[in-house]
Amino acid sequence: GFLTPDEETKGIVQRIYREYLSGKGLAELARELNGEGIPSPKQHKINKGLLRGEKEKFFEGKPCFWMPTTIHQILWNETYTGVLSSGAYKSGPLGSGKRVFVPEDERVRVENTHPAIIDKDTFREVQERMKKKKHGETQQFLLKGLVRCGECGRLMIRDKKLFRCRYQKFTEHRN
């Protein structure tokens, strides 16, 4: 298969890069995209019928919103520049079922495999800005991954001393 840009979503990706470089933050971008009713990548796949099996059943009837982590993944993804890389993970110890992260310099990377929708200079500028904004290690909490929202069933996150639905900040979701 040959990768081709999705004409419906390529403008959104370009906008995300442009607006991030203009100074907008990840949460601000997520709020704007949700406010404008622009489908998130997962919602786009659901709308197109591209999710199958268990994933399809899990997301059935649940709207999928833009999150700062989604924006971050898009901004970090070199595929938009026409580059494909492979080998980000390798198998862990035999029988463990775990994957081990492979450093970038050890991966297979091929340029110009498909049309780029983000030029390399823009991508480089975004990476530089993201590295400057990177925070230190975050503290892990005992209940992380266990507390769910009573309204939508999604995982809740710790916000200061309380737990809240992670979607509450980026949508009109009430909790």
Exposed/middle/buried for 161, CB within 10 Å: 0-12, 13-18, 19+?
exposed
CB atoms within 10 A of CB 96: 9
pLDDT of residue 14: 97
How far apart CA 147 and CA 156 sit, in angstroms, is 6
pLDDT of residue 126: 96
How far apart CA 118 and CA 54 sit, in angstroms, is 33
How far apart CA 39 and CA 41 sit, in angstroms, is 6
pLDDT of residue 59: 63
pLDDT of residue 56: 60
25, 126 contact by CB (below 8 A): no
* Non-local CB neighbours of 100 within 8 Å, separated by 6+ positions: 89, 90, 91, 92
pLDDT per position in the chain (175 positions), as tens?
578 888 999 999 999 999 999 999 999 999 999 999 999 998 888 888 887 766 666 666 677 889 999 999 999 999 999 999 888 888 888 888 888 888 888 989 999 999 999 999 999 999 999 888 765 444 556 666 777 787 777 777 776 667 777 666 555 555 4
Torsion angle of alpha carbons 105, 108, 112, 117, nearest 10°? -70
Q: How many residues does the chain have?
A: 175
pLDDT of residue 50: 83
pLDDT of residue 168: 65
Q: Which helix (H) or strand (E) holds 158?
A: strand 156-159
Q: What is the 3-state secondary structure (H, E, C) of 56-84?
A: HHHHCCCCCCCCHHHHHHHHHCHHHHCCE
